[in-house]
Structures are given as structure tokens and as C-alpha cells.
Structure 1
Amino acid sequence: MKKTAIVLGATGLTGGILLQKLIEDDTYLSIKLFSRSKIEGLPSKVSQYIGDLLNLEQFKADEVYCSIGTTKAKTPDKEVYKQIDYGIPVAAAKLSKENKIDTFLVVSALGANANSSVFYNKTKGEMERDVQKQNIKNTFIFRPSLIGGERKEQRTLEKIGLAIFKVIQPLFIGKLKQYKIIEPDDIAQAMINLANSTSHAEVIITSKDIKRLTKNT
């Protein structure tokens, strides 16, 4: 069966890789992008809806992939930050429920906890909680650790953090494995594999699970 996918966050690192994989996948006849800026050079199977991230009339598909996210450096205003990291995924989940979309996949973060005293973790945790409240049949929440890969914008502190993590990763054994750097390509592939599988009951997908799911084709 040919499918239609909605993608939110295609201008980001993980979302961009996800979009390319969906374009190359013949399972997907149509891809709808909702974003604030246009991506040039996309094939005809991709439709772009610019400005209105959540166009109710066009928000119809078989699956929704949401990798929306910002950073403290890009969005220092906490209210605006929450509108993005919490508001958009939750609104998308509500629209998915309203439009009877049965599969919703969203990228969160390791440490997400609605009761956390850390603003970032709390925001992600509240997002997860309220996405799950929609009771969409196939809801999958991805909690990657530090995400590797090359970004368009310069993030000095993040580059330092990645460099340090790469050095100490061999020490991450047992429960510490979940803190290993995860590549955005692995996240994107795991999302697609999970969306096209009926054999996984997980709702919360950690970095360890993400790596495993890349092998399930």
C-alpha cells in the first residue's frame, strides 16, 4: 500500500535526513512538509505548506513524523521555546487524533520528565505526557541521547560536548550505554522502520532501542 507521510521539522538535522529517506522510499507516494521556510529542489512527491505549521485542512496522512526542536542558544525566551518544543508536537498530535491518523512518531530527548526541575527536561516530559493523552493507536516517542552529525549552524559548546563524549564512550557499558552518542541517520531510519512494522509494542524508544531498530527492515 502506498502511503502519505507528514513531516514536521524537515529543516533540522534529523528531519532533513528523515525527509531524504522518505523521498527515496517507494512506499511513500506523497510527503507533506509543514515548516516556516521552503526547502528548494524537492521532487514532485513532496508538497510544502509554508507559514502555517498546522494546516487543519491539509493535515491528513497515514503517518506523522515530528522532529521539531530548538535550542536555548537559538531560542533564549522560555515562553517561545515552549511554544516550539511543547506546543507544536502536542498540537500535531491533537490534529492527528482528530483526522484519524493512526501513527505518530516524535523525537523527544533523554531525561524527559514532566516533574523535572530542569526546564528543558520538564518541557520535553510535558510534551510526551500530552502527546500520549491523545491515545493515538501507534504512538512512538524517541528519546535519543546526544545527537551526532554536522549541523548548518555553529554550536561551539555542543561541538565540545560531542568531542568529549566520543573520547569517553568506551567507558559507557551496562546502563550507561543509553548515553552514547546517537547518529541522526539512525534515528531517522529507526522511525521509518518502526512506522512500517507491526511487531513493536514500545512507546518510549531510547538510544539503545533506536540502534536496534535500524536493523529491522
Structure 2
Amino acid sequence: MTNTQGSAGPTVWLAGATGLVGREIDRLWPATGLLVRLTRRPLPARAGRIDALVPDFLAAAAFAALPQAEAAFCALGTTRAAAGSDAAFRAVDLDAVIAFGRAAKAAGVRRFALVSALGADAASANLYLRTKGEAEAALATLGFETLVIARPSLLLGERSGLGQPPRAGEALAQRLARPLAVLIPARWRPVAAADVAAALLQALAAPAPGIRVLDSAALQPGRASPR
């Protein structure tokens, strides 16, 4: 497929380009094709990328002007504390994710990758895990040829530029995670956001049909394999 800027390769959408994993997908993008970064604010210009300003993912016309695409990455997400309420949290982590998935399907996307969370379960009593599980279940009904779901444990990475309120417990966990990593079972081991991004890029570059779930064990460097 040839992108609208004339360089060979697929056109790919990225939602959540300013988040922890999304910015790593952007950084690692091989520039063989066009990466359309859906964002609420302009991002620094980089080769092989264009920005599409989407102020409201839930607006009916939000995706109308976007080019057709072959693949999409969804790295949208917030926290209950940052959102301010259960409803505001679910508007991002569920409603916006589903809206993006539907728009991607309508634009011809065949391969879709989602950043979810370890323990995601639509039947969970935990709001965060239930919401993530509901988003996964909704995307699974849209009929993508390939759906890759990353379920990382604690994400490691620099959060200072994300515009989120500080989370003291998470900062402490990140400091302890690396020296104690060998003692933590692989499934629960924290994983760097850059490794999640690399695993998703690899998975969509060599797609297999159906739904693939990558947990933290599979997301560690060199271990991206389906569960």
C-alpha cells in the first residue's frame, strides 16, 4: 500500500501518541509508510508522520477526514484519579477506545493492536480491570483480521512529561522493580513501555489471523509470542 505522502508502506493510525506506550510506538516507528498520529495537540514533526487533530474521540465526525489505513495502534488510557470520576475514566478507557476501533474498522483497518492491562476481565469487580476487559471484548466483536492485545503489568518509563498527577506508590514500585525483577514471576514482572511498543510493532509487522494476547512475560525483550 502507498501512503498519501508518496513513500512506500502501509498507512497506520496511532491513538494515544502522547502516552507512555504511544510515544514509544511513535519513537520506534520505522518510517516505512505513514503514521497518522491522532492527537489533541500538535506534536513535534518527524519523518513519516502526520498529525490529525481529534479534540473529541466520541464526536461522530472526529475521524471523517482521516486517510484509509491498514493497521492501527490504540494506546489510549488514563487513571481514575486523573479522570476525576468513574464515568470520566470509562469515557476514555472504554468509550473512546471503542469509538476508535469502530472508526478504524470503517477506514479499512485489518490489523489492530490495543494496550490493555494485566488482569483485564469484563467480569472483574475492580473498575479498572473491568473497564479494560470490556474494551477488549468490544474490540473482539468488530471483526479485525488480527487483534493483538498487550496486557502489561506495571509499566516502566518516564512519566514526568505525561501531564498526569504524581503517583507516589507507582514511583516507589518503579524504583524497586528493576533490582527485584529476577525474583518476580515473568507473568507479573514490570515491563518497559518501550518493550511493549516494540512487541506490538513486531506483532503487527508479521500478523497472524485471530486474537493474540501478550502478557508481561511475552512482552519482555525477545519474548513476544502469543498466549
Q: Same fold (TM over 0.5)?
A: yes
2:107 aligns with one of 96, 99, 109: 99
Q: CA deviation at 1:107?
A: 0.1
Q: Determine the structure 2 residue equivalent to 1:144.
A: 152
Select 1:206's aligned residue among 186, 210, 215.
215
C-alpha RMSD of matched pairs (Å): 2.1
Look up the equivalent residue of 2:46 and give its one-letter code: P
Q: How does 1:52-71 map to 2 (within 5 A)?
A: 52-53=56-57, 54-58=62-66, 60-71=68-79
2:27 to 10, 13, 20: 20
Contact 1:34/1:52, CA 8 A, preserved across alignment: no
Give the aligned residue type for 2:63.
Answer: N
Alignment CA distance shift 1:106-1:198 (3 Å): closer
Within 1, Cα distance between the matches of 2:70 and 2:194? 22
| 1:47 match | 50
Count of residue pairs the alignment pairs up = 209
- Output the CA distance in 1 between the equivalents of 2:102 and 2:208: 25
Q: Which structure 2 segments of 5+ residues have no match?
A: 1-7
In 2: Cα distance, 1:44 partner to 1:170 partner: 38
Matches within 5 A, 1:51-130: 51-53=55-57, 54-58=62-66, 60-130=68-138
Cα 1:143–1:184 change in 2 (3 A) is: same
Output the CA distance in 2 between the equivalents of 1:149 and 1:130: 28
Residue in structure 2 matching 1:187, options 161, 186, 196: 196
Structure 1: runs of 5+ lacking an equivalent: none
Task: Tell me which amino acid in the other structure corresponds to 1:57.
Answer: A
Could you tell me how far 1:199 is from its partner in structure 2?
Answer: 5.2
C-alpha separation between the residues in 1 aligned to 2:80 and 2:74?
19
In terms of fraction of residues, the more helix-rich structure is 1
Q: Distance in 2 between matches of 1:202 and 1:130?
A: 13
- Normalising by structure 1, what TM-score? 0.88
**What's the offset of the Cα at 1:52?**
4.2
Name the stretch that deviates more: 57-66 or 42-51.
42-51
Identity %: 23
Is the CA contact (8 Å cut-off) linking 2:31 and 2:49 kept in structure 1? Answer: no
Alpha-carbon distance between aligned partners in 1 of 2:67 and 2:101, rounded to the nearest angstrom: 11
